[in-house]
């Protein structure tokens, strides 16, 4: 993997990397991708690669329903007046 | 000048697109949420059949071709309005491709219509951090993309108003829903185009585009070059500003959504019976009512509800009377009029009275205008007539005045007589208040 790709991936993920980190992740990412090379030998298929198991026309009916109370979901979330606190944005 | 729009319309389902959270209810933030629309690990989406059906209805309305099979994609981006860090949308197989929308005589080509989930709402705090409400996250959206066939900001507004009226008609959208319509506007005065993102409402679309026309024209006249970029519209200052490039850098890394399957939509679409499209309606108006193509389109493109009203009026009176009234006083006062069943019925009964010879055409037109505009001067002249009728009834029954002093119920005799005479021209409230006022004056 080349430097430019690492920088582009980092930018898409909103990460700022130092020179050392770029080099570090360049090697790490390359190693990770190498693991996947094994898939190159797997038999290929012309089918749509949407879902490995064919699932067709499964639809839900339009019935509103809440299984878990919203308050329970917010218990472990950092909130302010019920709003979820997020990062700084432009 | 070339303008193309990307129109986002929230689809009126009861539950969200990929989870069962209700789409309406408590306005408090984060009250309609679940692990799916909050992007909790391990949660999986399941598609709301109604959202797909509504999308197909719109695809058919726009005369798009519908692919045999569709599936969804993940559009990956990192912004807190989407908790999963991706938006489920349609990339390769939109529900509709290559349609057309007739704006009067002018065809506006439709590139595509696809379905996607709405992100949550972000509030920025004074220190620059974000507060997010995920109630909106996962509401189904249809995105309609046009070719750059629109030639002015005013035409863009006209197109949107007309398109929305037809969408409302086709999928039974609430009348006030244009506030929730958001547009990305692409505009080029010269060769290069700019995109103004996320403009809300028809007025703002026209304003944002007008600002861009002026801005781009100035640059070109000064011999400058338009830079291809994404811009924001500032609703308060009514200007567009350059968005920081970083924020919208497109590197979405689309992948197919593996948590959802594929859907045979051509088959589904063939089972959907859409309401008559405006164009089909225009042809029928020509055949059934002997209208010219131009007159038919004029009525229908003004408002599909006006066309519906014309048919009701023609059925209640006759074709010629309905044509005359609708193309005249009704059309000219339609803008700004919010039709309700009650007000439309009032107009019909007024026209009936004209047809029966009880009122003149001048009077009929004036009263229709009063119903439609509530214009004070017009209504006062109309109610002056009511005063005359009540006055005459009192002249004929002078004993009522004395009886009324003893018992207010005596007024009912006059009220009943006036109601019978005017036969629905005035509301009972109007008559009651006029009778009481005139009796009191004579006491
Ligand atoms: Zn949910």
**Using one digit for the tens of pLDDT, what is the confidence trace for A2-38?**
899 999 888 888 889 999 999 999 999 999 999 998 8
> Ligand 1 center to residue B81 CA distance, Å?
14
Q: Identify from A16, A48, A50 which residue to disrupt to test chain B contact, counting B C-beta atoms within 10 A and taking the largest count.
A: A50
Average predicted confidence (pLDDT) for chain B: 89
For B185, the enclosing helix (H) or strand (E) is: strand B182-188
Is a pLDDT exceeding 60 seen at residue B167?
Answer: yes
Residue B37, burial from CB neighbour count under 10 angstroms (0-12, 13-18, 19+) = buried
> Ligand 1 center to residue B310 CA distance, Å?
43
Is a pLDDT exceeding 60 seen at residue B287?
Answer: yes
**Are A50 and B129 inside 8 Å of each other by CB?**
no
Cβ atoms of residues B208 and B243 within 8 Å: no
Residues of A in contact with B140 (CB under 8 A): none
Considering only CB atoms, A14 lies closest to which of B52, B78, B256, namely B78
Cβ burial B63-77 (10 Å sphere, 16+ → b, else e): ebebbebbbbbbbbb
Is a pLDDT exceeding 70 seen at residue B425?
Answer: no
Q: Are strands B73-76 and B182-188 parallel, antiparallel or unpaired?
A: unpaired
Asked if the C-beta of A73 comes within 8 angstroms of chain B's C-beta atoms, the answer is: yes
Strands in B41-105 per DSSP E: 69-70, 73-76, 86-89, 96-103
Is a pLDDT exceeding 60 seen at residue B248?
Answer: no
Strands in chain A per DSSP E: 79-80, 83-88
Considering only CB atoms, A51 lies closest to which of B23, B35, B261, namely B261
Q: Identify from B261, B266, B271, B272 which residue to disrupt to test chain A contact, counting A C-beta atoms within 10 A and taking the largest count.
A: B261
**Are B49 and A62 inside 8 Å of each other by CB?**
yes
**Are B124 and A89 inside 8 Å of each other by CB?**
yes
Is a pLDDT exceeding 80 seen at residue A44?
Answer: no
Is a pLDDT exceeding 90 seen at residue A59?
Answer: yes
**Are B15 and A63 inside 8 Å of each other by CB?**
yes
Closest Cα of chain A to B140: distance in Å? 12
Tell me the C-alpha distance between B8 and B284, whole Å: 31
Give B62's pLDDT tier (boundaries 50, 70, 90): very high
Is a pLDDT exceeding 90 seen at residue A55?
Answer: no
Tell me the C-alpha distance between A81 and B133, whole Å: 10
Is a pLDDT exceeding 70 seen at residue A48?
Answer: no
Q: Is B276 helix (H, G, I), strand (E, B) or coil?
A: coil
Average predicted confidence (pLDDT) for chain A: 89
Cβ atoms of residues B95 and B113 within 8 Å: yes
Q: CA torsion, points B108, B94, B19, B33, in degrees to nearest 10?
A: -50
Residues of A in contact with B130 (CB under 8 A): 85-89
CB under 8 Å to B120, separation ≥6 — which residues? B80, B81, B82, B83, B132, B133, B134, B135, B136, B137
Per-residue pLDDT tens digits for B104-163: 789 999 999 999 999 999 998 888 899 999 999 999 999 999 999 999 999 999 999 889
Is a pLDDT exceeding 80 seen at residue B377?
Answer: no
Query: For B253, which residue in chain A has the nearest alpha carbon?
Result: A12
Residues of B in contact with A84 (CB under 8 A): 30, 80, 131-134
Q: pLDDT: is B213 or B383 the higher one?
A: B213
Asked if the C-beta of A52 comes within 8 angstroms of chain B's C-beta atoms, the answer is: yes
- Residue A47, pLDDT score: 66
CA distances from B426 to B141, B380, B382, B391, B436 (A): 44, 13, 9, 15, 15
Q: pLDDT: is B143 or B347 the higher one?
A: B143
Query: For B79, which residue in chain A has the nearest alpha carbon?
Result: A89
Tell me the C-alpha distance between B403 and B385, whole Å: 25
Is a pLDDT exceeding 70 seen at residue B423?
Answer: no
Write down all domains in chain A, each with its CATH number in brackets: 1-42 (1.10.20)
Tell me the C-alpha distance between B150 and A33, whole Å: 47
N-terminal to C-terminal alpha carbon distance within chain A = 31
Closest Cα of chain B to A28: distance in Å? 20
For B415, the enclosing helix (H) or strand (E) is: helix B411-422
Q: What angle do CA B259, B265, B266 make, to 5 degrees?
A: 155
Q: How many A×B Cβ pairs under 8 Å?
A: 146
Give the range among B109-113, B209-213, B359-363 with minimum mean pLDDT: B359-363
| Helix count and strand count (H, E) for chain B | 16, 15
**Are B78 and A68 inside 8 Å of each other by CB?**
no
Considering only CB atoms, B20 lies closest to which of A51, A63, A87, namely A63
Per-residue pLDDT tens digits for B48-59: 999 999 999 999
- Residue B419, pLDDT score: 83
Per-residue pLDDT tens digits for B71-107: 999 998 888 999 999 999 999 999 999 999 988 789 9
**Are A55 and B49 inside 8 Å of each other by CB?**
no
- Residue B322, pLDDT score: 93
* Beta strands across the sheet bearing B121-124: A79-80, A83-88, B129-133, B121-124
Residues B55-69 have a mean pLDDT of: 96
- Residue B250, pLDDT score: 62
Residues of A in contact with B52 (CB under 8 A): 59
Q: pLDDT: is B215 or B371 the higher one?
A: B215
Asked if the C-beta of A72 comes within 8 angstroms of chain B's C-beta atoms, the answer is: no
Closest Cα of chain B to A19: distance in Å? 20
Closest Cα of chain A to B207: distance in Å? 24
- Residue B176, pLDDT score: 64
- Residue B44, pLDDT score: 95
Query: For B32, which residue in chain A has the nearest alpha carbon?
Result: A70
Residues B363-373 have a mean pLDDT of: 86
> Ligand 1 center to residue B45 CA distance, Å?
9
Query: For B259, which residue in chain A has the nearest alpha carbon?
Result: A51
Q: What is the DSSP letter of A45?
A: -
Give the range among B5-9, B293-297, B307-311 with minimum mean pLDDT: B293-297
Per-residue pLDDT tens digits for B2-54: 999 999 999 999 999 999 999 998 889 999 999 999 999 999 999 999 999 99
**Are B35 and A73 inside 8 Å of each other by CB?**
yes
Percent of chain B with pLDDT over 70: 96
Residues B316-336 have a mean pLDDT of: 90
Residues B247-262 have a mean pLDDT of: 80
**Are A64 and B38 inside 8 Å of each other by CB?**
no
Residues of A in contact with B88 (CB under 8 A): none
Is a pLDDT exceeding 70 seen at residue B246?
Answer: no
**Are A11 and B249 inside 8 Å of each other by CB?**
yes
Of B334, B362, B338, B359, the residue nearest B349 (C-alpha): B359
Tell me the DSSP string of B349-373: HHHHHHHTTSS-HHHHHHHHHHHHH
Greatest mean pLDDT among A44-48, B376-380, B437-441 lies in B437-441
Residues of A in contact with B246 (CB under 8 A): 11, 90
Give the range among B31-40, B252-261, B382-391, B393-402 with minimum mean pLDDT: B382-391
Q: What is the ipTM of this complex?
A: 0.80
- Residue A77, pLDDT score: 94
Give B281's pLDDT tier (boundaries 50, 70, 90): confident
> Ligand 1 center to residue B117 CA distance, Å?
11
Of chain A residues 25-44, which have a CB less than 8 A from chain B?
A: none
């Amino acid at each position: 993997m080349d430097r430019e790709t690492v920088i582009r991936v980092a930018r898409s993920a909103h990460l700022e990397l130092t020179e050392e980190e770029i080099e570090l992740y360049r090697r790490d990412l390359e190693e990770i991708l190498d693991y996947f090379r094994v898939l190159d030998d797997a038999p290929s298929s012309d089918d749509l690669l949407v879902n490995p198991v064919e699932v067709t026309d499964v639809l839900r009916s339009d019935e509103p329903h809440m299984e878990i109370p919203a308050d329970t979901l917010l218990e472990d979330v950092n909130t302010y007046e019920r709003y979820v606190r997020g990062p700084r944005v432009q | 000048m070339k303008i193309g729009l990307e129109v986002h319309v929230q689809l009126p389902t009861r539950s969200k697109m990929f989870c069962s959270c209700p789409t309406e209810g408590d306005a408090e933030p984060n009250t309609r949420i679940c692990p799916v629309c909050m992007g909790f690990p391990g949660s999986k989406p399941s598609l709301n059949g109604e959202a797909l059906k509504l999308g197909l209805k719109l695809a058919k309305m726009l005369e798009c071709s519908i692919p045999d099979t569709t599936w969804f994609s993940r559009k990956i981006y990192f912004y807190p309005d989407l908790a999963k860090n991706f938006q489920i949308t349609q990339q390769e197989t939109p529900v509709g491709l290559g349609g057309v929308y007739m704006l009067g005589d002018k065809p506006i080509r439709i590139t595509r219509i696809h379905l996607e989930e709405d992100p949550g709402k972000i509030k920025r705090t004074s220190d620059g951090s974000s507060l997010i409400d995920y109630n909106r996250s996962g509401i189904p959206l249809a995105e309609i993309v046009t070719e750059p066939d629109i030639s002015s900001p005013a035409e863009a507004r006209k197109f949107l108003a007309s398109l929305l009226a037809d969408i409302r008609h086709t999928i039974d959208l609430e009348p006030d829903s244009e506030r929730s319509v958001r547009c990305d506007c692409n505009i080029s005065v010269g060769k290069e185009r700019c995109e103004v993102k996320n403009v809300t409402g028809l007025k703002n679309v026209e304003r944002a585009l007008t600002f861009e026309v002026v801005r781009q024209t100035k640059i070109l006249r000064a011999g400058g070059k338009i830079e291809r970029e994404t811009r924001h519209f500032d609703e308060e200052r009514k200007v567009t500003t350059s968005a920081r490039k970083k924020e919208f850098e497109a590197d979405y890394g689309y992948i197919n959504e593996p948590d959802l399957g594929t859907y045979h939509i051509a088959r589904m679409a063939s089972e959907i019976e859409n309401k008559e499209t405006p164009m089909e309606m225009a042809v029928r108006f020509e055949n059934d009512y002997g209208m010219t193509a131009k007159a038919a389109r004029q009525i229908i493109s003004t408002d599909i509800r006006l066309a519906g009203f014309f048919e009701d009026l023609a059925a209640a009176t006759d074709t010629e009377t309905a044509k005359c009234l609708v193309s005249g006083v009704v059309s000219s006062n339609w803008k700004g009029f919010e039709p309700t069943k009650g007000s439309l019925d009032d107009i019909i009964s007024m026209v009936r009275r004209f047809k029966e010879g009880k009122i003149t055409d001048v009077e009929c037109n004036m009263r229709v205008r009063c119903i439609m505009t509530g214009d004070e001067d017009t209504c006062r002249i109309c109610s002056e007539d009511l005063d005359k009728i009540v006055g005459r009834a009192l002249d004929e029954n002078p004993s009522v005045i004395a009886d009324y002093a003893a018992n207010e119920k005596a007024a009912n005799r006059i009220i009943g007589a006036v109601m019978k005479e005017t036969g629905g021209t005035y509301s009972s409230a109007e008559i009651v208040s006029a009778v009481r006022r005139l009796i009191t004056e004579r006491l």
